[in-house]
A and B are shown apart, each in its own frame.
Chain A
């Protein structure tokens, strides 16, 4: 996994940081150190915000997918669908269709049964805000 701060931070966040630079070098280095120490570089502020929307956080549920779909949903050339950066609507539609049996599946139909609409949405919000591995957000 690539943990490089500059490579994985999305352009918007990078832009925001650059704008912040104008306010002073000392402030910037403090802020960069803060965000680098607390937040995985693949996560944007949206991914952080998505964590508190349901009884079980979207982030916590999303990590249960990682054993197949990759840490933070970031996956390269594998049989499983990468989830990082998947548009919210694509994620929620896929999961609901799996759950309702509208979309053929091997095991995702069983897994999707474990989640209600709000939980699916919370997971989807988390994944949509993660920068995909080696791709464009």
Chain B
């Protein structure tokens, strides 16, 4: 038998054939009221794991199954710290054992290939058919390698890694960066909006600039970017100005100089940022010649890290949950798909307005959805939601910064309600900046605990 977790409803539909419900014996007519609901979660990342944990925390009687292709989770958050030797690949691994043994979450290690939204079953590559009362899909992102001429998944796996979804490409990029020739050039191609982990590309560039400062002091780091600004830009570049002799673009200097002292450094500096308006948008990658062509120039590099445009993870596409934007439209109150019934989409793949595509967002969305599903199954309305997000980031290993927001539904969309301030203040003291870095490291631990343990 190649099916598991067949619900009573599905067992009926497959075994009763053409018999009407009225012709069935009484015991087989309808699921008993006391039969616990089965919530199936597709994707065991931050969103899926948190949803499973909090469903069981809210109601231990509910049945929860996660379908996930990998037996061990590899954390994307903090994965740039493998590049600067602050963490190992093993440090990124998270076990599902606690969710399984302490919370009673059932795991099916398989790949979802399709679903029947009417019969409410998902099917997998391993030929399993799994019935659900509600489906939560937390598929994360997929990288659009083909967005740039000459770039491909194969090129990313062998020569020009992306490493935005951590794994073998992370180890490859770490090896390339740490082995780069003295005085070599590292180019990081930042992605267009929207993308996972908004401060992430700039944190990665900063951490490598710091590392090169010790190990390869004549190296160059060039960020090429289709954008003219990014989340945490002022506080991140203030850190670069202080740590790496980085000169801010003139418009930023004008905006910031009344609030904080900016140094003007002479000569060329190790780190540079080529913005969209200066021709920073990537057009073409040549993995053999190790060149990257932007609108402004062709750069010969020693190591290239391309973070390509993104869209919702493949499972969202397979299940037909995304719209023309490449992301999944949802009802903001309960993250129910507006495309398919009895399906909720959370995390990076969902369209969540002002909420960034971050692990913190996915974690908070998961909790709201877990509560909403249990209330709705009990015949009550989903409660009024509220979410938070904090993205901690580093400009250097002891230089922390962040963006912190609280969100509510405002006029039908998710909007920020902390309208006064959201970033590290420009006049933050050295102690606050160092504390920010300690918070970033602590968060990597406490956040993993809240999602997976």
Listed in ascending order, the chain A residues whose CB lies under 8 Å from chain B are 1, 3, 36-38, 40, 55-57, 60-61, 63-71, 75, 78-80, 106-107, 109-111, 113-115
**Complex: how many Å from CA A61 to CA B387?**
8
Q: Which residues of A contact B447 (CB under 8 A)?
A: 67-68
- Provide the residues of chain A in CB contact with B421, threshold 8 Å: 109-110, 113
B371 close to chain A: CB less than 8 A:
yes
Contact A70 B450 (CB under 8 A): yes
Whether a CB of chain A sits under 8 angstroms from the CB of B3 is: no
B407 closest partner in A (C-beta)? A114
Would you mind naming 20 contact pairs between A and B with Cβ atoms under 8 Å apart? A3-B103, A63-B364, A64-B364, A65-B388, A67-B388, A67-B443, A67-B450, A68-B439, A68-B442, A79-B442, A80-B439, A80-B442, A80-B446, A110-B418, A110-B421, A110-B422, A111-B406, A111-B418, A114-B405, A115-B406
Which residues of B pack against A, CB within 8 Å? 53-54, 57, 59-61, 98, 102-103, 360, 363-364, 367-368, 371, 383-388, 390, 402, 404-408, 417-424, 428, 432, 435-436, 438-439, 441-443, 445-447, 449-450, 453
B102: chain A residues within 8 A (beta carbon):
1, 3
CB-defined contacts of A114 to chain B, threshold 8 Å: 386, 388, 405-408, 417-418
Given A110-B421, A114-B406, verify A55-B54 contact (CB < 8 Å).
Answer: no
State which of B384, B406, B443 has its C-beta within 8 Å of the C-beta of A113: B406
Q: How far is the CB of A83 from chain B (nearest CB, A)?
A: 12
Residues of B with C-beta under 8 A to A37? 59-61
**Across the interface, do B402 and A106 meet the contact criterion of CB distance under 8 Å?**
yes
A120 to B419, CA, bound (A): 18
Cα separation A69 to B443 with both chains bound (whole Å): 9
* A67, B103: Cα distance in complex, Å: 18
A111-B445 in contact (CB<8A) = no
Please name the 7 residue pairs, one residue from A and one from B, whose CB atoms are nearest each other, closest first: A114-B406, A79-B442, A113-B418, A64-B388, A107-B404, A110-B404, A63-B367
How far in angstroms is the closest Cβ of chain A from B128? 28
| Interchain CA distance A56-B26 in the complex, whole Å | 43
A64-B364, A111-B404 known; A71 vs B438 contact (CB < 8 Å): no
Q: Contact: B371 with A60, CB < 8 Å?
A: yes
The distance in angstroms between the C-alpha atoms of A113 and B421, with both chains bound, is 9
In the complex formed, the residue of A with least CB distance to B433 is: A106
Point out the residue from A36, A64, A113 that lies within 8 Å of B367, measured CB to CB.
Answer: A64
Q: Do A71 and B383 contact each other (CB < 8 Å), given the known contacts A106-B424, A114-B418?
A: no
B287 to chain A, nearest CB (A): 38
Cα(A103)–Cα(B404), bound, Å: 17
A66 contacts across to B, CB distance below 8 A: 367, 450
Q: How far is the CA of A110 from the CA of B407 in the complex (A)?
A: 12
Task: Give, as a whole number of angstroms, the nearest-CB distance from A3 to chain B.
Answer: 6
Contact assessment for B443 and A60 in the assembled complex, using a CB-CB cutoff below 8 Å:
no
Q: In the bound complex, do residue B384 and residue A55 qualify as a contact, i.e. CB atoms below 8 Å apart? A: yes
| Distance from B397 Cβ to chain A, minimum over Cβ atoms (Å) | 15
Are the CB atoms of A64 and B387 closer together than 8 Å? yes
Q: Within 8 Å CB of B388, what residues of A? A: 64-65, 67, 111, 114
A40 to B53 Cα, complex, angstroms? 12
**Cα separation A109 to B363 with both chains bound (whole Å):** 22
Find chain A residues with CB under 8 A from B371 CB: 60
Closest A residue to B442 by beta carbon equals A79
B408 contacts which chain A residues (CB < 8 A)? 56, 114
Considering only CB atoms, which chain A residue lies closest to B400 in the complex? A106
Whether the Cβ atoms of B363 and A67 lie closer than 8 Å is yes
Task: Give the residue name and chain of the A residue nearest to B384 (CB).
Answer: A56
| Supplied contacts A60-B383, A114-B417, 11 more A-B pairs, CB within 8 Å | A36-B60, A55-B384, A64-B367, A67-B447, A79-B439, A107-B436, A110-B405, A110-B420, A110-B421, A111-B390, A113-B419
Does the CB pair B385–A56 fall under 8 Å? yes
**Cβ-closest chain B residue relative to A72:** B57
